Structure 1
Amino acid sequence: MICALASAVCFGTASVLQAVAARAAAAPGDGAGVDPALLLRALRQWRYVAGLALDGLGFVFQIIALRSLPIYAVGAALAASLAVTAVVAARLLQVRLSGTEWGAVGVVCAGLGMLGLASGAEGDQVGSTALRWAMLGAALFVLLAGAAAGRLPEKPRALVLGLGAGCGFGVVEVTVRLVDDVAPSALVANPAVYALLLGGGSAFLLLTSALQRGSVTTATAGMVLGETIGPALVGVVWLGDRTRDGLGWLAVAGFAVAVAGALALARFGEAPAVEIPGPDPERVG
């Protein structure tokens, strides 16, 4: 659980840096579609690169957590990264949090505490070959659906982009558990490895587009739902994730409370834009 929370801290801080960089990288006249060039421009921003470094560290913590905890516990902890984003934005970017939002931060922490008490060990099932191929198909579907979402009107576009990004991250959560042999020959033959790479890459692309276009609050809410509910069900149904004896109700309640608190903080999926210094118009004149 410590590693899961450390991962949330890394991802939450990275979100502030990446959101600012994505806005700064937007070129005049950009369309509404999913634009891979936007990701390339964002990579020229030091904030985005720093965010990626934090994402990499968070991913390491996430892998460690997924090797010891059920997916539903790790997924809820990752959703709690929005609470971290809210606190970091309040500190570094002078964003004012309302009393309700501070309460939502407390609700997220309470939900995670309930999950920590109720979570059992990770499931002992390794997952079938069919599940591995299904994850690869899901990752491909996320990429194609996200590309098509760029042509939708603004409101549904933001929701679909965010939901697609969340599903991509959810694919990563599940496939980490499906990679049980790290020998090079086994990795090459395992469809889950390709699902992990495709799902993670698609999620980053869709999330970057969502941060730059449309309602990021709606997109972030979709992302939270996509990266928590589906993977949690896969872990329980197909990978054997369970709770401690007699505490299933507490795990369900903690999961619901943590995700609800994260949804209340969805607007912090987008950090406020910062002004980039430019030439003084009067001096230029």
Structure 2
Amino acid sequence: MICALGSAVCYGTASVLQAMAARAAEPGTGSGVDPGLLLRSLRQWRYIAGLGLDGLGFVLQIVALLSIPIYAVGAALAASLAVTAVVASRLLHVRLSGIEWAAVAAVCAGLAMLGLASGEEGDRAGTDALRWSMLGVAIAVLLVGAAAGRLPDKSRALVLGLGAGFGFGVVEVSVRLIDSLALPGVLANPALYALLVGGGAAFLLLTSALQRGSVTTATAGMVLGETIGPALVGVVWLGDRTREGLAWLGITGFAVAVVGALALARFGEPPAPERTEEETAAREA
């Protein structure tokens, strides 16, 4: 659980550092999507530090997935939005409303309940059918992303966000389905390809959602997709359980943490850069 929370802290802090780097980068043309923004951001030490934290967060996430139930890891990762909100309020001077501070407290309370209720990870290895199913879901995520481009903005953001969440969920489940990294056996495991395709598809869909629709809607969809589905798979097919007699506390903690994260969904995107007085005057003219 410490690794899962550490992963959330890494992801949440990385988002703010990358936001600061993007704001400090040289302005683009203002004509919409700016492919050069990534290259300009890479000149900022904060962006490099954010990428390092993302890598460390992923390693901690893998360790957590191999030690505790998927539902606990999923809820902890959703809590990265709470970390982003708190860090942004300090470093980016973003004002949090009373409701948002209450949401941060709810996330912390939900994770505390989950920590008390969580048992050890399930002892089921998972079937070949489940491994192939994960690969099928990963491919379906790509197809959904391609089809979602024709939807209206609001619906498109929700579908892309959900798709990204399912992709990240495939990664969570696939880690548990790879029982050995020894060659050549691992190359015959469909879960390996599900992990790679699901992670890549999730990144592409989330990027498209943030560029072309409501960030809050997309992030909320992602949180739902990456928590509820994988949690059910872990309980039903992999044997994840809570401690004896504490199932009610685990369910309550999971629900509270996810609802709190949804209330903080607007922090899924870095704040836009502030305009100078000259830019404001030119825009008004």
Match of 2:171 in 1: 172
Alpha-carbon distance change, 143 to 57 in structure 1, aligned in 2, over 3 angstroms: same
Shift in Å, 1:17: 4.3
Match of 1:15 in 2: 15
Shift in Å, 1:148: 1.9
Residues of 2 paired with 1:25 and 1:178: CA distance? 44
Shift in Å, 1:67: 1.0
Moved more, 86-95 or 245-254: 86-95
Contact 1:142-1:167 at 8 Å conserved across structures: yes
Match of 2:123 in 1: 124
Question: 2:81 matched to 1:85?
Answer: no
Residues of 2 paired with 1:239 and 1:264: CA distance? 30
Shift in Å, 1:18: 4.7
Write the deviation string for residues 195-222 of structure 1: whole angstroms up to 9, x where unpaired.
Answer: 1011111111112222222110000000
Match of 2:2 in 1: 2
Contact 2:162-2:225 at 8 Å conserved across structures: yes
Match of 1:45 in 2: 41
Residues of 2 paired with 1:200 and 1:43: CA distance? 22
Match of 1:185 in 2: 184
Alpha-carbon distance change, 109 to 25 in structure 1, aligned in 2, over 3 angstroms: farther
Match of 2:137 in 1: 138
Alpha-carbon distance change, 223 to 119 in structure 1, aligned in 2, over 3 angstroms: same
Question: 2:31 matched to 1:28?
Answer: yes
Contact 2:17-2:47 at 8 Å conserved across structures: yes
Match of 2:155 in 1: 156
Residues of 2 paired with 1:161 and 1:68: CA distance? 30
Question: 2:107 matched to 1:108?
Answer: yes
Alignment of structure 1 residues 196-207 onto 2, 5 Å: 196-207=195-206
Alignment of structure 1 residues 199-238 onto 2, 5 Å: 199-238=198-237
Q: Give the TM-score of the pair, scaled to structure 1.
A: 0.89
Residues of 2 paired with 1:17 and 1:25: CA distance? 20
Residues of 2 paired with 1:276 and 1:97: CA distance? 21
Shift in Å, 1:81: 0.5
Residues of 2 paired with 1:200 and 1:41: CA distance? 23
Question: Secondary structure at the residue paired with 2:172?
Answer: helix
Partner amino acid, structure 2, of 1:184: L
Contact 1:63-1:176 at 8 Å conserved across structures: yes
Contact 2:157-2:210 at 8 Å conserved across structures: no
Alpha-carbon distance change, 260 to 206 in structure 1, aligned in 2, over 3 angstroms: same
Residues of 1 paired with 2:147 and 2:216: CA distance? 20
Alpha-carbon distance change, 276 to 169 in structure 1, aligned in 2, over 3 angstroms: farther
Partner amino acid, structure 2, of 1:120: G
Residues of 2 paired with 1:274 and 1:260: CA distance? 29
Percent of aligned pairs with the same amino acid: 75
- Count of aligned positions: 274
Partner amino acid, structure 1, of 2:163: G
Q: Give the TM-score of the pair, scaled to structure 2.
A: 0.89
Residues of 1 paired with 2:28 and 2:234: CA distance? 37
Shift in Å, 1:53: 2.5
Match of 2:282 in 1: none
Any stretches of 5+ residues in structure 2 without a counterpart?
280-285
Match of 2:263 in 1: 264
Write the deviation string for residues 97-132 of structure 1: whole angstroms up to 9, x where unpaired.
Answer: 011111110000000000000000000001001101
Partner amino acid, structure 1, of 2:266: R
Partner amino acid, structure 2, of 1:206: L
Contact 2:88-2:94 at 8 Å conserved across structures: yes
Question: Secondary structure at the residue paired with 2:270?
Answer: coil
Alpha-carbon distance change, 201 to 43 in structure 1, aligned in 2, over 3 angstroms: farther
Residues of 2 paired with 1:217 and 1:122: CA distance? 32
Alignment of structure 1 residues 67-82 onto 2, 5 Å: 67-82=66-81
Question: Secondary structure at the residue paired with 1:184?
Answer: coil
Partner amino acid, structure 1, of 2:261: A
Residues of 2 paired with 1:227 and 1:210: CA distance? 15
Residues of 2 paired with 1:168 and 1:26: CA distance? 32
